[in-house]
Structure 1
């Protein structure tokens, strides 16, 4: 039990650091895109022009308002969707690779890629470089999936609920302080370098890079390998195996899952998978567009947005850290439905 507790503590700290560095950018995105769109004519970044053309296409297709403010929301949605799309592939494939090569090597590989993306963000003087950073970040963002696999390796069925609640609490704490840290660093960069037009995002980018490097060193020193060689998947990977892990129709059927106790378990997994997918569509849309909404509608600066995320994250931490881990086994579905009814009531602005 002591070893399990230590591993969960290590993972809690790692997830907390990771989500701090990941959410630093959230309150800055509207201003970053405004910065990249400041140039006109021959000085304008070609990728920015092409992306705006695609935004116009989506706008015409959906009948969205022909307004610069709403165009920026669509722009932010495209960037968020691209990151999540790439993360989907990396999480699935790296998670499968960790079954064969071990958790720790794949976790470190993922975290190194994340650090590279932050390093590129530090020098993203135009949208092309910024998008390169986001692409590398999305392709590398498999660490969460691997950490969840480590939790599964390290806990019994009775311990897993509590362990997952602690991991969820780490997410929430990162969500509390990450955006606030990003807003503070942005204001600090503007105050100390008032003549620079880029320090509002360079300082937060450097902080994200430093945190990611600290996280790598921390995992190297403190996180043990939880999947012994004897338990690793030694089977040769085939094209069918890969397709089962990345094609949506296979994923929703959980085709890649073999070691289940009964057909009923597969049915439950499919229902939970579909419910999770539908919920995450809504939540991911909120995460990447709410900053643009409050920026355009209420003219909130990065500091006000950081405070907004602070309140949201505080509520998440109280629920996940204080309530979720106390839910009795078998009552999870009722608790999930109840919390969703409460959280999605009276959300019109």
Structure 2
């Protein structure tokens, strides 16, 4: 199966750069099946490739080890068997899966000097990327609700946030995220041809795949924006509502020490929320304003790589229970 793209009005073969006869109509182009895409990556400079490989491999290992340490600390310490840390361990698992969708492929591409990804592999990567990205967003909303119940209804906390309810929250978050990813997948599958196979990123960005369609993608873009609005609006509205209620409740506390104690229980989560949504919003705003695809790629690194890497540090440095649990886990591991 031949993989093609159009460059300056000439239909080229990516595999051997052979110049083929130019296709005069879109109907002719629709008969050509694209089997591969070409990821442009972060840089074309050959001298930078080893540095990028070492940098992203280090960031990937730090992310995986940091989030894995949180999961092991939470599961091994009975003091952390609470809804808040249960959701935190699931967030760490989602972060590991989220970064594992893109970074290992980029490292392999640098080592093999190949940036080709198959059509099926591209759709699979896009689906998994959206799945765990949406899962992160849903879990942050659930964690905000957990903090709302803990601060505003402390006497009923154990009744409301019982194990059954916590598991239902996780399952609902997963299935909503799965539905979101599959709807994006269906939209891309409806594209009958592509005007280019070069993706200006180091992974299969769903928005870029839609823009590569040679047919009219207006309706697909509208549907995609509606899906993003729903999947983004629901979690963010839940977070804003929870923190509005939390703020109102904290302001009613008479002493400043009581206000600080109440707010400190959700400080780490609030920092992670600002980091996640702030970087994601910044990427999409920059992509809408900027005309340089390279700048958009550099900005996407922040929320796809940097944010999952920083989450374990934020929770471990600002949370005494996590730090104690980690030290106990490490002490038992070393002594054993």
TM-score, with length taken from structure 2: 0.31
Higher fraction of strand: 2
Q: TM-score, normalised by structure 1?
A: 0.30
Greater fraction of residues in helix:
1
Indicate the structure whose relative CO is greater, using CA pairs within 8 Å and at least 6 residues apart.
Answer: 1
